[in-house]
Amino acid sequence: MAKQTFTTGQVLTAAQMTSLQQTAMLGGAASAKTASYTLVAADAGSAISMSNASATTITVNTSLFAAGDTVQITNLGAGVCTITAGTATVNTSASLALAQYESGTLDFTSTSAAIFIKGAGAAAASGGMTVISSGSLTGAGVDLTSISGYNNLQLVLRDFFPSSASTSIRIRVNANSGANYSTSIFRTSATSIDNGVGANQVSLNDGATQQTNSDTNAHCIVDFFDYANATSKKLFSSYYVYNSTITVGGSNSYHVAEAITQINIAPNSGNFGGGTYRLYGIK
């Protein structure tokens, strides 16, 4: 049951006793959600379940919970549910993203901080793929974090387009905008290979023919190899189909010997007009 304050001599009903027993067994009063949700004080001691085919968040703010309070969270939906620190601090030794049928516990250590203890979940077998993040491509760009625990990553972009014409899509990692990237691109409408060395980003298409804002069914796949290795430079490949007929393939590299902990996807200028992303972790 949700956290309550009892008085001396109070007699509990059978329903209250049953709910207390459920809470003691790490269950708690069930609270089903279908959209992104911000926790409230009444959620202390309860169990939140999320069910949505698209990505959702559960936000944690300060001054709502006391040290020792817990909240159980389970994701039943196909869309990834991410535990998000609002004004509170949320620490974890695992990912804050819950794939379908994964769960975890928020264990509050103070009124402003919690530890998220993620359950084992349904981990991918060797060679298997797990969705670790998904959502819409909106605004000036999307940052992907909480990506640890895999050998490789695959990023799939679907039906995306920029809000302005003549725009290319680019990727940066670890918020690094220095001259630390190289790209070799081949394009079906050209006979040459374009090379960029010492660029401040990886462009997924070349400058000769950029995507229009009327082409709303572009697709892209980007593979990040050995991304968590902290002692070597990084290699990732990309395949991009846009403007109905143009296919671009790229061999890309990031020249800093560090693990990739964040990926940013954005138009070269302006905003995304639409589209979706899905990030897979590969064991």
Q: What's the 3-state SS for 76-143? A: CCCCCEEEEECCCEEECCCCCEECCCCEEEEEEEECCEEEEEECCCCCCCCCCEEEEEEEECCCCCEE
pLDDT above 70 covers a percentage of the chain that reads 86
SS3 category, 278 = strand
Q: What is the mean pLDDT of residues 192-217?
A: 74
267: part of which helix (H) or strand (E)? strand 263-267
The two beta strands, 113-118 and 234-242, are unpaired
pLDDT in tens, 102-139: 889 999 999 999 999 987 655 555 557 888 888 889 89
pLDDT in tens, 61-95: 999 999 988 899 998 888 889 999 999 999 987 77
pLDDT in tens, 258-267: 999 999 999 8
Position 209 pLDDT exceeds 60: yes
193 versus 132: which is more confidently predicted?
A: 132
Say which amino acid occupies 187.
R
Identify the residue whose tokens are 């790209």: 183
268 versus 154: which is more confidently predicted?
A: 154
pLDDT value of residue 268? 85
pLDDT value of residue 25? 52
pLDDT value of residue 40? 94
41 versus 25: which is more confidently predicted?
A: 41
Identify the residue whose tokens are 């409230």: 40
pLDDT value of residue 3? 62
pLDDT value of residue 265? 94
Using CA atoms, how far apart are residues 78 and 117, in angstroms rounded to an integer?
21
Where residue 178 falls among pLDDT bands split at 50, 70, 90?
very high
Q: What is the pTM of this model?
A: 0.59
250 versus 37: which is more confidently predicted?
A: 37
Position 278 pLDDT exceeds 80: yes
| Phi, psi values for residue 22, rounded to 5° | -60, -40
pLDDT value of residue 212? 84
SS3 category, 244 = coil
- Mean pLDDT of the residues in the chain: 84
197 versus 104: which is more confidently predicted?
A: 104
pLDDT value of residue 195? 62
Decide if 217 contacts 278 (C-beta within 8 A).
no
Using CA atoms, how far apart are residues 263 and 96, in angstroms rounded to an integer?
16
Where residue 11 falls among pLDDT bands split at 50, 70, 90?
confident
pLDDT value of residue 65? 93
The two three-digit tokens of residue 181, written as one number: 């990237």
Say which amino acid occupies 216.
T
The DSSP 8-state label assigned to residue 158 in this structure reads E
Least confident of 37-41, 97-101, 184-188, 259-263: 184-188
Position 35 pLDDT exceeds 80: yes
Q: What domains does the chain contain, in order, with CATH numbers?
A: 14-118 (2.60.120), 129-282 (2.60.120)
**DSSP class per residue in 188-233:** TT-SSEEEEEEESSEESS-SSSPBPTT---EEEEEEEESTT-SSS-
Position 2 pLDDT exceeds 70: no
